[in-house]
């Protein structure tokens, strides 16, 4: 049986459910009965509803990966170095994928000069 290439709400729901659990799209698409990775990416490009659903599912997936990190940290059966690698990988990924929520604090630098008159004008609302 070939891979499905036609968009259906059932396949979209199955993909989004798994994304929300923290699975990668690549892994999901490698399963039998799932569309190819490139097919799903195309759906995200041409189907605004699916794009929104998958984006939300990926946000929830970041939460799931954060929860996984806590479970890994509490698992004393794992070697400490193994735990560190697993946790660090998840935290780095979610920091990139969902930077607003999980990313490192960003510092903004200003170059140039601001005169006292500009500060007074700005603070008085004129």
Number of Cβ atoms within 10 Å of the Cβ of 80: 9
Residue 71 within a domain? yes
Instruction: Look at residue 76 in the predicted model and tell me its pLDDT.
Output: 92
Task: Tell me if 28 sits within 8 A of 61, measured CB to CB.
Answer: no
Residue 78, in any domain of the structure: yes
pLDDT value at residue 73: 95
In a domain, 91, yes or no: yes
Q: Are 43 and 50 in contact (CB under 8 A)?
A: yes
Task: Identify whether 13 is part of a domain.
Answer: yes
Task: Please give the average per-residue pLDDT across 43-49, as a whole number.
Answer: 96
Mean pLDDT confidence for 44-58: 96
The number of residues in the chain equals 126
Provide the mean pLDDT of the chain.
89
- Whether 49 maps to a domain, the answer reads yes
Distance between CA atoms of 86 and 74, rounded to whole angstroms?
A: 12
Average pLDDT, integer, range 75-82? 94
Q: Are 68 and 90 in contact (CB under 8 A)?
A: yes
Q: Is 60 helix (H, G, I), strand (E, B) or coil?
A: helix
- Checking if the pLDDT of 71 tops 70, the result is yes
pLDDT of residue 101: 76
Instruction: Specify the CATH number for the domain of residue 91.
Output: 1.10.10.60
Asked whether 74 and 32 are in contact (CB, 8 A), the reply is no
Task: Determine the average pLDDT of the residues in 39-58.
Answer: 96
Number of H helices, E strands in the chain: 7, 0
Is residue 63, in this structure, part of any structural domain at all? Answer: yes
- Tell whether the model's pLDDT for residue 83 goes beyond 60: yes
Residue 110 belongs to some domain of the structure: no
- The count of domains in the chain is 1
Owning domain of residue 99: 9-103
Distance CA 113, CA 109 (A): 12
Q: How confident is the model at residue 96 (pLDDT cuts 50, 70, 90)?
A: confident
Q: Taking the model in full, what pTM does it have?
A: 0.74
Q: Judge whether 113 lies within some domain.
A: no
> In this predicted structure, what is the pLDDT of residue 105?
66
The whole-number pLDDT of residue 102 equals 76
Q: For residues 90 and 69, is the Cβ–Cβ distance under 8 A? A: yes
How many Cβ atoms from other residues are within 10 Å of residue 76's Cβ? Answer: 7
What DSSP character marks residue 126? -
């Amino acid at each position: 049986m070939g891979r499905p290439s036609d968009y259906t709400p059932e396949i979209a729901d199955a993909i989004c459910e798994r994304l929300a659990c923290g699975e990668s799209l690549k892994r999901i698409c490698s399963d039998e009965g799932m569309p190819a990775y490139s097919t799903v990416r195309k759906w995200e490009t041409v189907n605004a509803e699916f794009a929104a659903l998958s984006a939300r599912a990926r946000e929830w997936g970041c939460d799931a990966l954060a929860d996984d990190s806590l479970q890994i940290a509490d698992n004393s059966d794992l070697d400490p170095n193994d735990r560190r690698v697993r946790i660090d990988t998840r935290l780095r990924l979610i920091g990139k994928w969902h930077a607003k929520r999980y990313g490192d604090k960003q510092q903004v630098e200003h170059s140039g000069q601001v005169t006292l008159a500009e500060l007074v004008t700005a603070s008085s609302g004129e």
